[in-house]
A and B are shown apart, each in its own frame.
Chain A
């Protein structure tokens, strides 16, 4: 910047500012400012033209006053005038005023834009820079609209000065941030990428920032930048520290540029070209080597710059995740930092290690640092570093070191900061469950957890213990014994009482043999805690008591006495009172048989994703470490591209896990209430469900379904417990399993189907939805379907579902519920009167036009001629499909409302696909038939743009709703969908095969249909393609 020349001192401004600074009070300051404003107003008003100097001075004063927080509503014109001055200082002040004070909707914007344009087209680099800076500083949408085309031209023009190029690149970057849609690089792309080759390092630095941002927007277009970036990086890295002169910062060559280049490379996968890849690896190695060299300077800036480059290089290595040696070296380097003096370095090292731990190459290497990390946990002063240490321990945990890590975390918990206690509790609970070889250890750990940090143990944690104890016979006795012992402590946490009450109520009989824990002692122990507990716990304890009556008839009298006491029977809390009354009656009236049935042991819970995990995810938000995901990732990368044919071991490990992930948490969040069940569930107990052996036996069968499960598990197995997304996952992942693995399905479906009936309290609403997906015509279906978040065109919305609201106006609502079997269908039409007056002469008839008459038989059963206000009328339509059809029948409705005759005609959503019967077939069969239907008229193909987001689960749901069976493992590409089915008509049956290939990048679908009849192919294709 040119120095301010002597005559430009602006004494007036200096005096004014010093006056303001000397003001004793706010009032004095305001008075001075008012005076100055009046002075400037009279100067600007004066008819004689002001010279540039005074104009600049007054604009400066206005700017100063504005920055002091006063409103300025004049002087804009003068500032704009300054823009056209030829003096640098005047222009500068003008631009300053504009970028600070002018808002985008000002009338002056065209004048300003004009001035900027003039400066941009001038050949004076300082003026161009000023203009570019102004554009960037304002950065509004209007600016982007006016200059988004102009700036790239300056950027790539051959004769532009380096400093202008730098400004132009940064200006473009800024415009891209505010209005990315307006910055279109188009033909400039290649030339922008080549800026990486520029001689001037400043230009390269600016351009790298720009390219990184643009590459994130459209990675394909900037792919060529990778090789250039690698070349540039290698030149910087290999240069001696004196080569780059101005760009060497405390003996580190161009650290900012290096970091930016490494960031840019992180936008892309490892380069495929061997040479580039080699060169990059070399660079990274050099950077790692340099970290080992003794520091060239003791200054903190030197080490900061060096470490910045190093950490960015390590992030790149982690991002690529492909070079085992580099990963291990990076890990070792980070290991050195773990004990560094600098807190920041320790923090960064731990954070990077967390990501490294999830890579299978470096997982072992990370594990070698376990002692250091544990030490950090104990001795570290900074709480954020301790937090990272906990994260890292969690990430590096596996079967081999689980016991150690859990023990360390438990002991740390006693002294941990309150802010992170809950998280540690969750982590301990998860690790203990996940790596529990021996469930007695698990029970011990969780009980310890409750003892150490009872307040931080959320409900999910103790629900989970109970679920696990109930599902595993072998620990029940041990759990009862341990809990009994734990309860003997004089002061127990309420959570412990809850667990104790539940477990003793269920399994107290297992330890009743011991005279030290006889039934009466157990009861007395529990009851001694009763008065100290909150209402929900007391309710739980009451249930435990009634269970005791069943388990130990000898304590019946004692317990009845307790239930009969006024503090129970007349308790102010309704829930407690009701329980006491009901249990008392139940225990005195019912025979022992009935008692035994009603108060039977709880059935095992369905295996679901650990709700604790879901809670942790919710707590940490997306993008954090989950052992599940990490493990999946590890395995995926371990098997490389051959995941489809993965070894049994890897699947054995991953599928139960992801299986658990699929089935989601919702039910398990509902508190496991051990209220007596109204109906016996004895048949359930005939097939005791012990998940471990089941999963083991399921593994071989699951093989083919493996990849699917991985896909299903890896995209955030919803953290929202009752979220709709998870509903879809549940609904859709279950049926495929039923197709692939019959063994699994038997147990599974029975289990799920049985639960809502047996224990409505224990199983949440999602189980209902599972249930409904098996029995599609129960009343729940409407609910399940209604919750599907599919936004379709009104006409098309019934293609993939059978129920919903067909039509609605102020008077009338028409709802539908339909079921189809082979070529027959039945549709229940509900006419709801939304008004308060009666509809008279109500008549509804179905009309099949022209050709449709022969193709479709619709018979409407007569219905009542009147519909009362607010009432609903049901009409049943019987439908028979004679042959394939295209049109839809029309439902004509006539009625008299308040004297006027109303006419409504609605198309009935009876489409050909309703008569679909899904067909299961193997991959071999499928391709055989696919080939058989190879005639050109039999195949219909359509390529279309996605109308909705391309969610795999939604797509699956739609294909199944469409009626076809979804076949897994048929198509070699796992992201494609393949379906098969038969259209039943009275005359013929038409086999249909369909294949849907989504392209997520282009947001396009290709749908191919092959059927034995060309009209059917066409119709189905039209119907289905509208759905995506």
Chain B
């Protein structure tokens, strides 16, 4: 279990230090600073073992969050907790920055007391937390209210309190996916996967019972036997995890996703697919070395989706050799610039419709060096945003039942949005 939690600024100064167990001494704080933050070689592993103590860290901008333990814990659990902690902090005071943390010392300690008990993670649902940990002054709660909070937090449905009322029952579903790719120069896919999330924002009255359906292959096949027939394609989900509100027993038995959602925003599920991915862009690189002092690069990108859709925020990053002394770029569309500080040519296109192609060519001048090492040719990477799910996931339905109150499924206004982003989207050159 987590023995302690420290938050450092970029210099390694401790901002927050909360120790949950006696086996973590004061020197653990320094050990992490010396061995990780100030390490001569950048520490890339998120888990560091120093003197039989394990440090799990995540970095948010310039802030380091480190969980410490002496025991053999589930590392995934610790990281899950750390990310949750980040989410909670963001929900309370916005961006995680040194200043924000310094301004919210008391709050953070209060939160840490609540969401970790003797190192065991507790309720980390922001909505629930906000009912009893507030940033504004303490408004004296009546005994009734207090006992209500207690019974809710300790009750079966800890993430939602009773008696919520909305005039308009609304529901937003976002399918957010990031597509990762590594492609050979010849266009062969070396590895590709999509990791996606379904984020739900609900403004529903009472304690609604929801049911969520998508084009998961197993479900479709099951129903297919029932006679409905396969409409559209179905996708194979490799693995998925659900929010705590989802009834897992029901999912295991019937593959149906049913739950009582927390009020406000929550991440309903997370999933990963590796098969039949729609790759929104294809990058075709062409690199030619002209003598020792010149390099010619030509890169073509092709968009590969319905012409009616528009991709946004497209950015192609073409690495340049370390001895680059000058660059000339010509591109058909968008803007391209040599960024010396990043050793790369960055080509930006605001918008691009499907089934189009665009091209950039650059001449790179090189400075002859004594170094005999050959340039390693790092891959060309790409960033973009497309309005569909590259995995092919479709939301088939989301039904809401509230037996006690008098609104039905049809009265709920539902919104569904698909966003596909690039993860690590690279093409070797």
Contacts and interface: CB of A to CB of B under 8 A. Distances in A.
Given A24-B62, A25-B62, A41 B325 contact: yes
A73 B370 CA distance: 6
Contacts of A41: 323-325, 367
Report which residue of A31, A35, A38 has the largest number of chain B beta carbons within 10 angstroms of its beta carbon.
A38
Interface in B29-47: 40, 42
Contacts, number: 51
Interface string A23-62: 0111000011011011101101100000000000000000
Interface string B314-341: 0000000011111000000000000011
A756 B10 CA distance: 74
A514 interface: no
Contacts of A37: 322, 340
A107 B369 CA distance: 12
Nearest to B372: A73
Nearest to B61: A25
Given A26-B42, A107-B370, A73 B323 contact: yes
Contact of A73 (B326, B343, B369): B369
Give the secondary structure class of A's interface.
Answer: helix
A76 B323 CA distance: 14
Nearest to A71: B371
Contacts of B324: 38, 41
Contacts of B340: 34-35, 37-39
A74 B369 contact: yes
Contacts of B177: none
Contact of A45 (B42, B325, B341): B325
B342 interface: yes
Nearest to A31: B341
A38 B365 CA distance: 11
B370 A45 contact: no
A108 B370 CA distance: 10
Given A24-B10, A74-B367, A34 B341 contact: yes
Give the secondary structure class of B's interface.
Answer: loop
Nearest to B344: A34
Given A41-B323, A73-B323, A74-B323, A34 B367 contact: no
A45 B62 contact: no
Interface string B134-166: 000000000000000000000000000000000
B323 A42 contact: no
Report which residue of B10, B42, B340 has the largest number of chain A beta carbons within 10 angstroms of its beta carbon.
B340
Contacts of A45: 325-326, 365, 367
A686 interface: no
B326 A74 contact: no
A492 to B, nearest CB: 37
A35 B322 CA distance: 11
A106 B62 contact: no
Contacts of A42: 325-326
A37 B324 CA distance: 9
A35 B324 CA distance: 11
A225 B40 CA distance: 50
A441 to B, nearest CB: 50
Contacts of B62: 24-25
B171 to A, nearest CB: 40
Contacts of A26: 42
A561 B341 CA distance: 89
Interface in B364-379: 365, 367-371, 373
Interface string A984-1006: 00000000000000000000000
B367 to A, nearest CB: 5
Report which residue of B324, B326, B367, B371 has the largest number of chain A beta carbons within 10 angstroms of its beta carbon.
B367
B42 A34 contact: no
B341 A73 contact: no
Given A45-B365, A74-B323, A35 B370 contact: no
A34 B342 contact: yes
A69 B42 CA distance: 12
A44 B323 contact: no
Contact of B370 (A32, A39, A44, A106): A106
Contacts of A74: 323, 367-371
Nearest to A44: B367
Report which residue of A31, A69, A106 has the largest number of chain B beta carbons within 10 angstroms of its beta carbon.
A31
A24 B342 CA distance: 17
Report which residue of B326, B341, B368 has the largest number of chain A beta carbons within 10 angstroms of its beta carbon.
B341
B372 to A, nearest CB: 9
A37 B32 CA distance: 32
A32 B341 CA distance: 6
Nearest to A30: B341
Interface string B285-326: 000000000000000000000000000000000000011111
Given A31-B341, A34-B340, A45-B365, A25 B323 contact: no
A19 to B, nearest CB: 11
Nearest to B37: A26
Nearest to B41: A69
A45 B368 CA distance: 9
A76 B370 contact: yes
Nearest to B11: A24
B343 A34 contact: yes
B2 to A, nearest CB: 26
Contacts of B323: 41, 73-74
A49 to B, nearest CB: 16
A38 B341 CA distance: 8
Nearest to A74: B369
A69 B40 CA distance: 10
A39 B324 CA distance: 10
Contacts of B325: 38, 41-42, 44-45
Contacts of A32: 341
A583 to B, nearest CB: 48
Contacts of B10: 24-25
A76 B342 CA distance: 24
A26 B39 CA distance: 11
B101 to A, nearest CB: 15
A73 B371 contact: yes
A38 B62 CA distance: 26
Interface in B337-356: 340-343
B161 to A, nearest CB: 41
Contacts of B40: 69
Nearest to B98: A24
B40 to A, nearest CB: 8
A446 B40 CA distance: 53
A69 B10 CA distance: 20
B33 to A, nearest CB: 14
A37 B367 CA distance: 11
A609 to B, nearest CB: 45
B149 to A, nearest CB: 41
B367 A35 contact: no
Nearest to A76: B370
Nearest to B373: A73
Contact of A35 (B341, B368, B373): B341
A65 to B, nearest CB: 13
A39 B367 CA distance: 12
B373 to A, nearest CB: 8
A823 to B, nearest CB: 72
Contacts of B368: 74
Interface of B: 10, 40, 42, 62, 322-326, 340-343, 365, 367-371, 373
16 contacts: A24-B62, A25-B10, A25-B62, A31-B342, A34-B342, A34-B343, A37-B340, A39-B340, A41-B325, A41-B367, A42-B325, A44-B325, A45-B326, A74-B368, A76-B370, A106-B370
Given A41-B324, A69-B40, A73-B369, 11 more contacts: A37-B340, A38-B341, A41-B367, A42-B326, A44-B325, A44-B367, A45-B365, A73-B373, A74-B370, A107-B370, A108-B370
Interface of A: 24-26, 31-32, 34-35, 37-39, 41-42, 44-45, 69, 73-74, 76, 106-108
Top 7 A-B pairs ranked by shortest CB distance?
A: A38-B340, A45-B325, A73-B371, A31-B341, A35-B341, A41-B325, A73-B369
